[in-house]
Structure 1
Amino acid sequence: MFQHQALLRPAIYGVAVGDALGVPYEFMARGGFRCTDMVGYGSHRQPAGTWSDDTSMTLATVDSLRQNDGRVDVDDMRRRFVMWLCDGMYAIDGNVFDCGITVREALRRGVGRDGERSNGNGSLMRILPLAFTDASDDEVRAVSAITHAHATSMDACVAYVHAARALLEGAGPREAATTAGYAGIWERPASAVRSTGYVLHTLPAALWCLTTTGSYADCVRAAVNLGDDTDTTAAVAGGLAAIRYHGGSGDVPRDWMGRLRGREIIESVLPA
């Protein structure tokens, strides 16, 4: 059903931990804070270890794939996204917060937004599970298009899935970034790395964090400390870093895993 299934659980937890690490700092300017540990409250007034829409929509994606034997069913996936948005499914305590405008409009209208200004990172943040399937590039684009139907967003999702698959096959971070079309990203100074909600800022920022650090914790801390869209940058980077460092000395810190909320929701959608 899933390829490299042994790494699916670590990857999803990598997304969730990165998301939770960044939630308290979202919208804060770079240099105005310093993330060193998993804390609570801050921007969204949530307890420590609380993840946001990034993880909820990722879990909905996994659940749809699991229920459909690893196949992409766009209608089923959309239905699960709507259940999250309207009913709080896949959300901690049923509490939906931090949902982007494009996602909300697309799900309420039943059609992905395809304008140039609809290129936020709301499909990139949830696309990682497709790396564990044999989904084609066009199927990846179709999943993005549930909410983000502009070519820029769809192609960014394809690039991210390619990077994740490279890591799953044993590639190093720099090789994976090159596979995604970002050769040399690690040579950029931090000042040249932007971390807004624009999809073409989030993807290279996540790859920069992956290729300039040597552990999961350092990668997601670097992502959060870039500022602005801290939770999504860390979620996108965290999924990749968890694949890269799983089982080694650079793996997700146990104390962060211990403080993560909503683990029962995560476990409920993962294959046995």
Structure 2
Amino acid sequence: MARIIAIANQKGGVGKTTTAVNLSACLAAAHQPTLLVDCDSQANSTAAIGFAKDPSRHTLYHSLISNEPFDRIVQKSQVEGLDVIPADKNLAGAAVELVSAEEREYRLRGALKAMEDKYNFIIMDCPPALDLLTLNALCAAGSVLVPIQCEYLALEGVSELLDTLMRIRRTLNPNLEIEGILLTMYDERTTLSRQVASDLHTFFGQQIFKSIIPRNVRLAEAPSFGKPIILYDPHSKGAEGYTHLAKEVISNGEKRTGTGTRSAHTGT
């Protein structure tokens, strides 16, 4: 049974897509069959993993609105072991079209049911807003990974998100857990980054991942080449950060369940 993780933060520009793409690629590289689901109408994850725009390609929109099965939409990526459910601009309309639909918050969860036995991990890249697409992802997920940029007001933003997650647990998905809080765009040379990291550790303690994603030029360049960082520059600090995060996510899951994952070769 797949571990389903939503990458979410209501604040934009914190590294959600970068984390979704690169965590997915690093999990697959660690011999963990992984599905990346792009839930954002901007389709940045779809582009960053190497798919050019294609109006004829069926996407998450067709599943949510027309009930098209995921196995007819899924695409193989350039990373062995990593498949993708792509997005496109039509998803913006899905948020409106779903308003009057029955069980509208659970459409994505229903679509994922047929895929759960095929993967160890299903990673969902959420939009930077608490709309119906994000709600669908949070209702389908077992846990949420929250990326936070090490900057001023980061603590305030994540506090609002965690309040939202608590409301979702009470009303829509009682099994939703916090996978962890990930510090992104960290620059150890600046006092601000160090202070924000210290404040977040003080406030959230063990919920903060040990892995930290540094501010890294190669990591920022990789999406424009349609490659995850482990293919674009596997020796960069960004690749190192996401490789460590993947190992930590795998390890945390094994600790929770007391069992190993599907493959005997975890790469850890």
TM-score, reference length from structure 1: 0.33
Larger fraction in helix: 1
TM-score, reference length from structure 2: 0.34
Larger fraction in strand: 2
- Larger Cα-atom Rg: 2
